[in-house]
Amino acid sequence: MGALVFGTANTASAQIDGECSASGAWQDNGLKVDAQTVGDDVITIPRTDTVNWEGSVSSPPGEYSGSIWLELPPPFGKLKIDDWSGNGDSTSNSGSKEYDIPKLVPAGVEFEVAGEHFADNGDCTGYVKLVIDGGLFDSFVSIIFFVLTALFGVLFALVVWKMLVNAGFFARSAL
């Protein structure tokens, strides 16, 4: 059985609906979460750590399935992270997951991880808003984006300025 495990710092940061419970604890960082009791704040997670997770449902699930994903801007939809399915009577599961988010992913970006769990005896859905700990320029992607913003901004401004001057919006002598 999979679990919807959502991390949090000292404050609330996840929502879960349905007869499920889920919790996680970051081994190195010390973060702890109980998805049932946390709220809707954005939380900061370390780029690298191991999470001890636990999940449970209120009654034997029977046939079950579920998945978690990263919410992308429309129209891109979802980027699946993991999924699970099976058949069983166990109402709980736990484990540890080591993760290492590549430097390619910029720190400070707020992203939403959502999940769902379907079983014969009930369904659950949930989400959490996360931010990776670190500085704005930890990832070279940020630098590339800023350079490209400036480049396209200058090009756009030059093209528009020249076009408007030629159209007579501004005096040519001003140039």
Partner 1 sequence: MKIGKLITTALLGFMFFLFIGLDLVLFGVIPLNSVVVTIMPIIGLVLGAALVVVASRKQGSAVNTAPPAA
Which residues in this chain contact partner 1 in the complex, by CB under 8 A?
70-75, 106, 108-112, 129, 131, 136, 142, 145-146, 148-149, 152-153, 155-156, 159-160, 163-164, 166-169
Q: Which residue has the tokens 């540890």?
A: 96
Q: Give per-residue burial for 32-55: e unless 16+ CB within 10 Å, then b.
A: ebbbeebeeeebbbbbebebebbb
N-term to C-term CA, the chain? 70
Q: Measured from the CB of residue 150, what is the shortest distance to partner 1 in angstroms?
A: 9
Shortest Å, Cβ 25 to partner 1: 25
Integer Rg of the chain from CA: 23
Q: How far is the CB of 137 from partner 1 (least distance, A)?
A: 10
How far apart are the C-alpha atoms of 13 and 50, rounded to whole Å? 19
Pick 59 or 143: Cβ nearer partner 1: 143
CB of 163 to partner 1, least distance (A): 5
* Cis before 75 (ω within 30): yes
Min separation Cβ 149 and partner 1, Å: 4
Q: Which of 71, 68, 87, 86 is nearest to 3 (CA)?
A: 68
Question: In the bound complex, what is the minimum distance in angstroms from residue 37's beta carbon to partner 1?
Answer: 23
The residue among 28 and 76 lying less far from partner 1, judged by its C-beta, is 76
Query: If residue 123 lies in a helix (H) or strand (E), which one and from where to where?
Result: strand 122-132
Q: Which is nearer to partner 1, 112 or 120 (CB)?
A: 112
Nearer to partner 1, 89 or 171 (CB): 171
Identify which of residues 41 and 54 has a Cβ nearer to partner 1 in the complex: 41
Specify the residue, 1 or 128, whose C-beta has the smaller distance to partner 1. Answer: 128
Instruction: State the DSSP code for 126.
Output: E
